[in-house]
Amino acid sequence: MHPLVQPGPELTADELVRYDRQLLMPELGVEGQRRLKAARVLVVGAGGLGSPVLAYLAAAGVGTIGVIDADRVDTTNLHRQIIHSTQAVGTAKVDSAAARMAALNPLVTVIAHDEAFTATNAAAVVDGYDLVVDGTDNFAARYLVNDACVLAGKPAVWASILRSDGQVSVFWAGHGPCYRCVFPTPPAAGEIPSCAEGGVLGVLPGVIGTVQATEAMKLITGMGEPLLGRLLIHDALTQQWQTLPVAADPDCPICGEDARIGEVRAITGTTDAAQEAGISVRELRQLLAEREAGRQEFALVDLREPAEVAVSQIEGSITVPKSLLDSEEAALPAGRLVLYCRSGARSAAVLQRLRRAGRTDVEHLEGGILGWQHAAGTDRP
């Protein structure tokens, strides 16, 4: 693989000292370090995956690192998003990350994009960088990253994590498959849980994110063999790794022979947003008050698993886990229902299913229990 980036200026005395152990590697050397110095890398997401990627790329001397994220640091992030501190709770993730990176290595330049990565800005943001590291946590954003990179002719170092499992690959149309070649269609709403719904082992983003950082450095310098055409899969509970071959799809709608996608556009119908409108926290509170007064009759149904319910639950709920509904081991009660889960994805999926079956007496809580707790001023999960 040819190096992605041409060597930059000669290394300064400070840089020679700082990167001494790296410079000793024959595969890298001074020239490779100069390539890192000249490189411009965009990291999409300053969360679990982005944390180790940003820290290690900064420490390694990547000259310009952009980070784009519109989120604020939350207490529930801290068990895995190690670039942020307790003191940073409530601040912009990009600012928190930039401050930590500057403390790690003041010789690199950090560009903080305090905004969401969207179909509107994706092409313009990606245009300013040599490669992109995808640290997003939802399908809609992954397709956006892929499409922006394909249309710009740039590689994307992708990864995905859930619970104790992780996957990593390098997608680069023209050199191997793109993300759409391997994952041609997004899953239906509620089909695959997000980390907010399904949980994630705190150390897993560190394991997978450092692989992403390694792949970025390999692409920049030409070291080794990147994960082009290979999908690396990790099971943290058995501590096993396996590699699966993946190939470009000649019928891919964006990089295939008859490509049909010529611009970055938003992806809909994924697990990332409830597709059914629901009731607000305020409306649910009113309903609960009216039920207490005997003016309303409905069941408030918690679709989460017992382990989630043990942490917190909206008072007055009954528990019917979605997993039991899916396996037909449980059924919902008759009459009017208000469903909720953690973030709204599972309840939206069940609502869609019930509406298709003809039930019109069912609603769901937008934002789930997270929205309920946010309105109450608590960040308990």
Active-site residue list = 195, 341
Cβ of 133: how many Cβ atoms within 10 Å?
Answer: 31
Label each residue of the chain as H, E or C: CCCCCCCCCCCCHHHHHHCHHHHCCCCCHHHHHHHHHHCEEEEECCCCCHHHHHHHHHHHCCCEEEEECCCECCHHHCCCCCCCCHHHCCCEHHHHHHHHHHHHCCCCEEEEECCCCCCCCHHHHHHCCCEEEECCCCHHHHHHHHHHHHHHCCCEEEEEEEECEEEEEEECECCECCHHHHCCCCCCCCCCCCHHHHCECCCHHHHHHHHHHHHHHHHHHCCCCCCECEEEEEECCCCEEEEEECCCCCCCCCCCCCCCCCCCCCCCCCCCCCCCCCECHHHHHHHHHHHHCCCCCCEEEECCCHHHHHHCCCCCEEECCHHHHHCCCCCCCCCCEEEECCCCHHHHHHHHHHHHCCCCCEEEECCHHHHHHHHHCCCCC
Give all strands of the β-sheet with 317-319 in edge-to-edge order. 317-319, 299-302, 337-340, 362-364
169 within 8 A of 227, measured Cβ to Cβ: yes
